[in-house]
Structure 1
Amino acid sequence: MFGLDISDVIPVMAASSAFIAVISIWRVSVEFKSPLARKAKELRLRENAMRRGYIKPEKRERLLQNKRENIVKKVVTKLNLMKSAQAERMEARLAQAGWRGKEMLMNFLFVKLCMPFVGGGVALVILWLKDGENQTTSMQLLIVLAGVFVGYYLPELMVKNKVTKRRLALELSLPDSLDLMVICAEAGLSLEATLKRVAAEMALASPELSDELALTATELGILPERRKALENLAARTDMPQIKSVVNTLLQAERYGTPLAQSLVILGEEYRSERMMKAEEKAAKLPAILTVPMIVFIMPSLFIVLLGPAIMQGLDSISNL
């Protein structure tokens, strides 16, 4: 075929396979970069933004005002949603969920504004598809109001769920990070260098905690008060465990107390607390499994044990 025999086709196919393999490996290495490199790039961008905010605030404000506003920013600005008390509360909640910045707050407020209309529209579509005309007017109104209600509270429920998952991830990885901080502190590293090192080591095991520690290390080198950077860490996480760590770090910064010994005690305490929670969940399993056993296992067991006797009884009655 085309003047080629099998001895010519085999080398061409081998070369093609090798070329495709090299291209595939190259694309994977380009598209899927290391999470450490991606996190380092994000931190550099965030650090540059913070430096612009503290060093040249007037120039930064002028540049922001000259930018063309998009639809989300126009709507939020027109309705003064950023100046409401809810905006301050939700900004803290979004930070606890890992979504920081004014842009994320504006997007959330815009979504929260639109979702009631979306929920009501979905309810109307459901009524139209399910022949809602047969329902009474009060029932139709109730369904639409239920859609509006669900649309209004759905964004907050999503944020709450994200905060819960993030706190659980931080709680599970905190003892290991404290052990790494102890090693760095005993090696003579400064607090900023310790946090950067631990953040780099925990990037794969716990991206959430690595992000928080890296941001705290960046703020320690930028903010005029080092105490404010540690307080921001406690405010972003809103966890008693991390607040205790922050108080320990503040005490070490202020009075020069030995940091490594305090972190060792905290690490052992949190590890014991984590083990106690696991044992508590294990102790609850028998009570939790009682209902599934009654609902799913007992009926099958009764059928297997009593089924033959019932069938024999029915046969005896039919013979009579």
Structure 2
Amino acid sequence: MLVLIALTFFLSVVCLTIGIRIERERSSPLARLQRQVQETRELSPEEMELRRPFLARLVGPIAQRVLRLVARFSPPGLKDSIRRRLQVAGNPWRAHSEEVIFAKIVLAATGTFCGFALGTTVLYKKPEEALLFALGGFATGFLLVDWAILQKTKQRRKQIQRSLPYVLDLLCVSVEAGLAFDAAMQKVTEKVEGPLSQEFQHVAYEIRIGKPRRDALRDMRDRCAVEDLNTFVAAIVQAERLGLGIGQVLRVQADLMRNLRRERAREAAMKIPVKMLFPLVFLVLPALFVVILGPAVIQMLGSLGAGGH
């Protein structure tokens, strides 16, 4: 037993010494310099390919061929429509229209298989009846991507609509403080986060590379498809065309957006009683009646039973 303890202690000391030695070698200036040189040197195409995950190297070429086939046989109108919807949604997945079409096909096939399997194995339906479940699974899988894009679009529009009054106030203050409109947009992108700030950053970049301001603003309007933003862009373009002061136009637009936000909040508050009516009638009141009248009913039934005896 004593020999075993001594041997364990000896091995622990040896492992600790080796670990300290390795850590010192790794943290030495020469080792750090070698790692920096290794990281900053230009990698060959073979090394860059080997750094990719194995699954990506295996599936990537197959996926590229499938996407090329999808792009070849997809109608141009469908691709343009999906590209437009992705643009309005902010393209959160950084996907191309061909990838969306391929995802719809895969999900539709998966939904068809799952629906047929559900009908035949779980619900024990006949194959003819299970075809209805397969059809439902096909429709669900095919429309799932469209539903996800629609939800992202609604979320993005709501974020833009909520942040627009604050952004216009900041733009107005910056312009009245002496900044040009382009510099004021750049200041907004530094102070505000969200999809509207990203759109303003995109507009400022397009203006810097030589695109006319009115065209850049109109492109932003088309990308966002928000009614309040359309009003703002139309006012700025009209002011630029007529030579009006941008600061005054921004002040009017900021006041207008604040009033619209106040009216929307008031409208949402007036809808709350109507939305609370159905849960109150069908969920809260029945439970309340059971809690209040339940003991009385039980006591009354007990009294009637005792009176009968």
Equivalent residues of 1:177, 1:198 under 8 A apart = yes
Secondary structure of the residue aligned to 2:151 is helix
The aligned residue for residue 251 of structure 1 is: 238
Equivalent residues of 1:248, 1:259 under 8 A apart = no
Does residue 73 in structure 1 map to residue 67 in structure 2? yes
- 1:110 deviates by 2.0
Deviation string, structure 1 residues 192-230 (Cα, Å, up to 9, x no partner): 222111111112xxx211111101111112254332211
Report the TM-score when normalising by structure 2. Answer: 0.73
Pick from 120, 131, 137: which aligns with 2:112? 120
Equivalent residues of 1:192, 1:217 under 8 A apart = yes
- 1:129 deviates by 4.3
Distance 1:74 1:98 in 2: 24
Q: 1:311–1:113: structure 2 CA closer, same or farther, 3 Å change rule?
A: closer
The aligned residue for residue 154 of structure 1 is: 144
Secondary structure of the residue aligned to 2:96 is helix
Does residue 186 in structure 1 map to residue 176 in structure 2? yes
Paired letter, 1:99? N
Deviation string, structure 1 residues 131-172 (Cα, Å, up to 9, x no partner): x5x313332111101111111111111101100000000000
Secondary structure of the residue aligned to 1:70 is helix
Greater mean alpha carbon deviation, residues 299-308 or residues 189-198:
299-308
Q: 1:201–1:152: structure 2 CA closer, same or farther, 3 Å change rule?
A: same
Equivalent residues of 2:171, 2:250 under 8 A apart = yes
Distance 1:71 1:143 in 2: 32
Distance 1:239 1:76 in 2: 32
The structure having more radius of gyration, on CA atoms, is 2
Pick from 81, 96, 118: which aligns with 1:89? 81
Distance 1:311 1:110 in 2: 62
Does residue 110 in structure 1 map to residue 97 in structure 2? no
Paired letter, 1:86? L
Does residue 283 in structure 1 map to residue 279 in structure 2? no
Q: 1:283–1:216: structure 2 CA closer, same or farther, 3 Å change rule?
A: same
**Equivalent residue runs for 1:1-320 within 5 Å:** 70-79=64-73, 81=74, 84-99=76-91, 104-127=96-119, 129-130=121-122, 132=123, 134-203=124-193, 207-319=194-306, 320=308
RMSD value, Cα: 2.8
- 1:102 deviates by 8.9
The aligned residue for residue 45 of structure 1 is: none
Distance 1:155 1:264 in 2: 41
Greater mean alpha carbon deviation, residues 244-253 or residues 207-216:
244-253
- 1:248 deviates by 1.9
Report the TM-score when normalising by structure 1. Answer: 0.71
What is the aligned residue count? 252
The aligned residue for residue 13 of structure 2 is: none
Distance 1:292 1:141 in 2: 37
Equivalent residues of 1:173, 1:209 under 8 A apart = yes
Deviation string, structure 1 residues 241-271 (Cα, Å, up to 9, x no partner): 1111111221233232111111111111111
**Structure 1: 5+ residue runs without aligned partners?**
3-66
Paired letter, 1:71? R
Kindly indicate whether structure 1 or structure 2 has the higher relative contact order, using CA contacts under 8 Å at least 6 residues apart. 1
Equivalent residues of 1:116, 1:152 under 8 A apart = yes
Deviation string, structure 1 residues 3-47 (Cα, Å, up to 9, x no partner): xxxxxxxxxxxxxxxxxxxxxxxxxxxxxxxxxxxxxxxxxxxxx
Distance 1:102 1:312 in 2: 66
Secondary structure of the residue aligned to 2:302 is helix
